[in-house]
């Protein structure tokens, strides 16, 4: 894997591992708690992240990144920059596509398996990714538009960071369950 992709990939993996560890340290009640009707639980936040990552990987199966023929446009780079800044903030953001909403029926251990599988699948794609395509658009984000491979990896990282803020909001709720028994 080229170093321009290896460093962001390792950063993403580290951030994701910290996110998962945080959920592992919670009780089942804490991970299932919803602050109010229509809001997500910690597990649903994790499920949403996995739906987004799996959607990008499915896109890559239909449109292999190495076959991309279009360079990222400057406007897409600008939109990606704005999205990155937004995702690093604690600002609430609506899901851009309804299909990214969680179903709410996944267990932590299943989500961890899916997360590891997605990271391994991305790593395989990155190992094979041709260096000459670094500035080519490999994915079209519904808000940011065309993204390079490096931008996709940074999106995955920033997406997890953004949802860490959501976990903070959930844990700050006055009705959030106290820690009694841990997940195993």
- Specify the DSSP class assigned to residue 71: B
pLDDT of residue 96: 64
120 φ, ψ to 5°? Answer: -65, -40
Does position 184 have pLDDT exceeding 50, yes or no? no
CA 141/CA 126 separation, integer angstroms: 18
- Cβ-proximal residues to 50 (8 Å cutoff; 6+ apart), any chain: 106, 111, 114, 115, 118
CA atoms within 13 A on the CB side of 168: 10
pTM: 0.88
pLDDT of residue 10: 97
pLDDT in tens, 40-79: 999 999 999 999 999 999 999 999 999 998 988 887 777 7
Lowest-confidence pick of 14-28, 75-89, 164-178: 75-89
**Contact indicator for 139, 146 with CB cutoff of 8 Å:** yes
Identify the structural domains of the chain with CATH numbers, from first to last. Answer: 3-171 (1.20.120.450)
Span 28-40, mean pLDDT? 93
pLDDT in tens, 100-157: 778 888 999 999 999 999 999 999 999 999 999 999 999 988 878 888 999 999 999 9
pLDDT of residue 118: 97
**Contact indicator for 31, 42 with CB cutoff of 8 Å:** yes
pLDDT of residue 99: 65
């Amino acid at each position: 894997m080229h170093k321009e992709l290896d460093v962001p990939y390792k950063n993403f993996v580290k951030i994701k591992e910290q996110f998962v560890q945080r959920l592992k340290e919670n009780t089942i009640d804490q991970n299932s708690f919803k602050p109010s009707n229509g809001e997500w639980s910690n597990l649903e936040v994790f499920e949403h992240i996995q739906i987004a990552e799996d959607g990008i990987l499915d896109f890559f199966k239909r449109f292999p990144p190495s076959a991309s023929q279009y360079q990222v446009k400057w406007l897409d780079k600008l939109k990606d920059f704005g999205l990155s800044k937004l995702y690093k903030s604690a600002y609430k953001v609506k899901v851009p596509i309804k299909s990214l909403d969680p179903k709410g029926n996944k267990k932590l251990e299943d989500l961890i398996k899916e997360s590891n599988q997605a990271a391994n699948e991305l790593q395989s794609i990155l190992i094979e990714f041709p260096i000459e395509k670094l500035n080519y658009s490999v994915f079209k984000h519904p808000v940011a538009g065309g993204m390079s491979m490096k931008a996709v990896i940074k999106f995955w990282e920033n997406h997890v960071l953004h949802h860490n803020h959501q976990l903070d909001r959930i844990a700050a709720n006055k009705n959030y369950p106290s820690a009694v028994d841990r997940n195993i």
